[in-house]
Structure 1
Amino acid sequence: MNSVVEQLERLEAEIASVLAGAFAAEVVAGMPDAEVMVLLEVTGRLQRRIEAVQVEATVQVRERSEGLRGERMTSAYGCDRPADLLRMVLHTDRAGAHRLVAAAGLTARVRGITDGEFLPARYDALRRALNDGVIGLAGFLAATDPLERSRKRILDEARVEADRQLAAFARGIAGGAGDGGGEDVEDAGMADAAGAAAAGHPAPAPTPDELGQFARVLAAYLDPDGAEPKDELASRGRSLRLGRERDGRVSLRGELLPEVAAQLNRLLDSLLSPRVGEVPVPDGVHFIDSQHDEAWMPVDDRTRPQKQHDAFAAILMTAARSGEMPDVGGAPPTLVVTVSASAYATGEGWAHVDGTDVLVPVRVAAQTACAGGVQRVLFDERGRIVSIGTSARIFNALQRRAILTRDGGCIIPGCTVPATWCEIHHVRDAARGGPTHTDNGVALCWHHHRTLHLSEWQIRMRHGVPEIRGPAWWDRERRWRPAGRQVLRSSPAASCG
């Protein structure tokens, strides 16, 4: 066993002893903020050092696993590929093992034929930064990946210069100042940092994301002709697929072009970002935090993916009722909802929504009908058509605009979805004689419209004005209170009935 391994094993035992005592005494829990930050910095440096030696060892695994199968290092340990051996010995996952193998391929060196000395690695400057603990595995791969994607179109001399500049940037020496000369990429906008480094004040070490960003700038500078082929390849690979229904859900898969994803992100952000200003709270309403006993608004317990799903649903509904979508069969896109007359009368049972083989509850069909662009077809038990509804029961543009102006957005307290993205809900369902009138419509976001029946929120209309009664945790007295903008227009005493 060589001395390096022995020293590392002694170091591991010492670290294990230190940490065992720290965990047993709950030392970390009692640290001040500044000491926690130092602890993270120290462990980060240790982690980068460990990753560097793992990459160096993986180089040997790769080299010793080539040639005849019987002579391979991987075969000797019962594995087929270097990544499999790394997964076994490091107890890491597949992705982590392949990252190590990729880095090893870019840092591997060969010996010269004449003198037997090691020749520079493909990314030799970044390899030294990795071995010095300046960057870790994530930083190394972030810096090399953009250049590797264009390796067939970048000259070796240009790649070596890019390697030098990336390593200098990783060390806080922007543009490679004081690191052996060479031309800088001035478009990176790092002249000030280079001057600071030359004066003995290096810039803060970049994160892997920042290294990757700089590497992409260099790759674009060195491979100006690569943008069009890359865009053409991306365009051919774009896709959007709807899977089959499973457990009441339909999978959505695909690959979006960057500008399409950016537009979708902007639309999602516009729905998920809180509104500016405070949501008014009716007098007498109590919001109690059991831990801090301070006022608070109702908590939205949806996960981020769930919120994004609901925002996406609101975007689709908004597009469907915009009037700007192409006609289908000579008419605007109309969702046909098929339901039996008995289920429609009782509000219980299943309905079929055109465009999917999945049956949905009647209440879901009712919500979809409130949103607009729906035709209702009723069948009797023998399958005979007994009624064909029209879209007349859908709130028209004038009614919708008036209701949104009155309510100002989703009327559920604490909801931040603005009026533009809201649906109009029939307070008294049309199936039970509720009119399609401003006195019977309120603004609800897609999520609260979809889940109103599952919650303890109740809505009623009083003299054409919406009122809401919330759960006991929101209002102990469970009184009817003005909803939406009516909170600002009516006094509590006059509005409670």
Structure 2
Amino acid sequence: MSVVTWIIRGMSSPIDLLAEQAGALAELIRGMVSAGADSTLDELLSGAKDSTVLDLAARLGQIAKLTDAAAVRVAGEVAKRSDRALAEPLAKRLGEKSATHVLAHTADVSPTRAADWCRVGEQLHARTALTGEPLPSLRPVVADAVDRGLIGLDATRVILDALRAVDPFLSLDDLHSLETSLVDQAQLLGLLDLTKLCRSLPDILNPDGIEPREEQMRELRSMTVSTKRNGMIRAVIESDPESWGFIGTALDARVAPRRPVAFVDADELDNPDQAAADTRTLAQRRHDALVSMARDSLSSDTGDMSGTPVTMLVTVSHETLVSGIGSATIFGIDEPISATTARRLACDANIIPVVLGGDSQPLDLGTGRRLFTLAQRQAMAIRDGGCVWPGCDEPPSRCQAAHITPWHEGGPTDLTNGALLCPFHHRRFDLDGWTLEVHGPERYLIPPIWVDAARTPRRIITPRLAA
């Protein structure tokens, strides 16, 4: 039986339809159970026909729509009884802040879901005239479709938002026609396509065009920064489309960069190295891309901060810098960093370690001898072609010139002791205990024993032209 045949036009209450669909679902499950009385639901489903499984999914989806429809009606009534204009609002009598909180606690659902119920319920709830006469819902077509389970809660919210946005530009008749059309489209389109359609309506119907909405979004742009209890820095960005065009394109370029082709052996393609694999999530890669953009900005910024070129200052005691044990601090950030991280940051010319004596007075602002020269970096760029980590495709411009034998352990600042590593793999190289060995013209990354008990060398594949 199709979903359409479930809808009984004569029934106006979602409760009636919900009861009918729940009964039909129960009958279907009883039929399955009779075929295997001692089986679990998983066992019943695994042995069921495709048509039976899909029928169950369709019925459950319809029940979910009707459950939300009933919840929306209940939420509308709770919101009505919690109106602050009343002498004793329901929410106040229950000690709750709002109707949303009443529903969240009473129905044991998330505040977000309760808020959606209330938001839709208030717009679809029947109204009362000043004379006390009952009036239909402000959106009668949407209300009827929700009650009959024709559209779900998410689609309803999208349609109501669109109608509210275009209300100032349309007559009552045109608005009613649009409401009917959107309800029809919601039954044909997926939620994503319906959302795109509804978002385009204000730009199409607003006689002033898209510019006013663009300006409104620009006014709403923001970036908030806060420090969480665990020391993590939380940044939340809300961007208008134009601004995000720059940010998003730059992030995408770094999350999925392209660099010259490296020719690898067939066995390396058939047996990818899991120990050297990049296991970062997409969210982590985006974060690292943003850090990379900030590094580039600092390296090219000619502005001043307190009369000096823009830099990131890392304060660290002399004892900590020598021993590698202890902590350091990035100027302006309360959460400390490890001495190992401070040493790694010292590889960037635009990041200066401020070495402090016992009395916390600056002894030194770093030394240029630890840094590879521009000519050395250019030679590494030609030799390495980018990050030397197997499988990494970060180009030379986004890599750091890393010391193979650390500078603070006496490693020289020359080409034989240097290699290009992106910030992520530079961190892995230093912290995980990887080493790099040279055997004639070939170079190999050697993993630590806890990554690979056999410490199998990973040959560094550099881009080269075909002969």
Q: Given the two structures, how large is their TM-score scaled by the length of structure 2?
A: 0.78
Task: Answer yes or no: is 1:144 the counterpart of 2:160.
Answer: yes
Q: Deviations over 1:302-327 (max 9, x none)?
A: 34433332222222122222x25534
Could you tell me which amino acid in structure 2 is paired with residue 467 of structure 1? Y
Q: 1:229 to 1:69 in 2, by over 3 A?
A: same
Give 2:185's match in structure 1, choosing from 138, 150, 169: 169
State the partner residue of 1:46. 63
Native 8 Å contact 1:380 1:386 kept in 2: yes
Contact preservation (8 Å) 2:317, 2:356: yes
> In structure 2, what is the Cα distance between the partners aligned to 1:403 and 1:77?
70
Larger CA deviation: 422-431 vs 350-359: 350-359
Instruction: Read off the aligned partner of 2:118 and give its amino acid letter.
Output: V
Q: Which residue, 333, 337, 346 being the options, matches 2:314?
A: 337
* Alpha-carbon distance in structure 1 between the residues aligned to 2:360 and 2:98: 62
The alpha-carbon deviation at position 129 of structure 1 amounts to 3.0
User: Retained in 1: the 8 A contact 2:438–2:444?
Assistant: yes
Q: In structure 2, what is the equivalent of residue 128 of structure 1?
A: 144
CA-CA distance at 1:154 after TM superposition: 4.9
Identity %: 25
Q: CA deviation at 1:384?
A: 5.1
Counterpart pick for 1:211 among 194, 197, 201:
194
2:311–2:351 Cα contact (<8 Å) kept:
yes
- Give 3-state SS (helix, strand or coil) of 1:436's partner: coil
In 1, the alpha carbon distance for the partners of 2:267 and 2:449 equals 13
Contact kept, 8 Å, 1:440 with 1:464, in 2: the verdict is no
1:128-152 CA-to-partner distances (Å, cap 9, x unmatched) read 3333433201001112213324545
Match of 1:94 in 2: 111
- Residue identity opposite 2:120 in structure 1: A
Does the 8 Å contact 1:395/1:436 carry over to 2? yes
Structure 2 stretches lacking a partner, 5+ long: 1-12, 34-38
User: Residues 97-130 of structure 1: CA distance to partner in whole angstroms, max 9, x if unpaired?
Assistant: 121122122223347899x7854x3333333333
How far residue 468 of structure 1 moved from its aligned partner, in angstroms, is 0.5
| Cross-structure match for 2:356 | 379
CA distance in 2, matches of 1:13, 1:275: 57
* Match of residue 208, structure 2, among 225, 233, 240: 225
**CA–CA distance in 1 between the matches of 2:93 and 2:333?**
54
Q: Partner of 1:375: helix, strand, or coil?
A: strand
The match for 1:492 is none
Alpha-carbon distance in 1 for matches of 2:425, 2:463: 19
Q: 1:470 to 1:28 in 2, by over 3 A?
A: farther
Letter in 1 for 2:294: L
Instruction: Name the amino acid aligned to 1:106.
Output: Q
Q: How does 1:72-471 map to 2 (within 5 A)?
A: 81-110=98-127, 119=136, 121-149=137-165, 151-152=167-168, 154-171=170-187, 205-225=188-208, 227-244=210-227, 246-273=229-256, 298-321=276-299, 323-328=300-305, 332-383=309-360, 385-391=362-368, 393-461=370-438, 466-471=443-448
The verdict on how the C-alpha distance between 1:35 and 1:266 changes in structure 2, with shifts beyond 3 A counting, is farther
Moved more, 345-354 or 20-29: 20-29
Secondary structure of the 1:99 match is: helix
Q: 1:464 to 1:325 in 2, by over 3 A?
A: farther
Q: 1:45 to 1:426 in 2, by over 3 A?
A: same
Moved more, 424-433 or 405-414: 405-414
**Contact 1:351-1:365 within 8 A present in 2 as well:** yes
Q: Does the aligned pair in 2 maintain the 1:286–1:474 contact within 8 Å?
A: no
Counterpart of 1:494?
A: none
Structure 1: runs of 5 or more not aligned: 172-204, 289-293, 490-497
What CA distance in whole angstroms lies between the structure 2 residues aligned with 1:102 and 1:60? 12
CA distance in 2, matches of 1:75, 1:342: 61
The answer to whether the 8 Å contact 1:297/1:413 transfers is no
Q: Distance in 1 between matches of 2:25 and 2:91?
A: 30
Query: In the TM superposition, what whole-angstrom CA distance separates every residue of 1:414-467 from its partner, at most 9, and x where no partner exists?
Result: 334444422221112222333333322212222222233332532245568642
- Give 1:49's aligned amino acid: L
Q: Secondary structure at the match of 1:104?
A: helix
User: Once superposed, what is the RMSD of the aligned Cα atoms?
Assistant: 4.1
**What letter corresponds to residue 314 of structure 1 in structure 2?**
S
Note the C-alpha offset of 1:488.
Answer: 9.9
1:356 and 1:243 map into 2 onto residues whose CA distance is 11
Say which SS state the counterpart of residue 26 (structure 1) adopts: helix
SS in 1 for 2:319: helix
More displaced, 441-450 or 462-471? 462-471
TM-score (normalizing by structure 1): 0.74
Are residues 408 and 349 of structure 1, via their aligned partners in 2, closer, same or farther at CA, if it must alter by over 3 Å? Answer: same
Seen in structure 2, the aligned counterparts of structure 1 residues 421 and 40 have a Cα distance that, compared at 3 Å, is farther
Aligned partners of 2:391 and 2:50: how far apart in 1? 33
Change (3 A) 1:390 1:217: same
* Alpha-carbon distance in structure 2 between the residues aligned to 1:386 and 1:117: 81
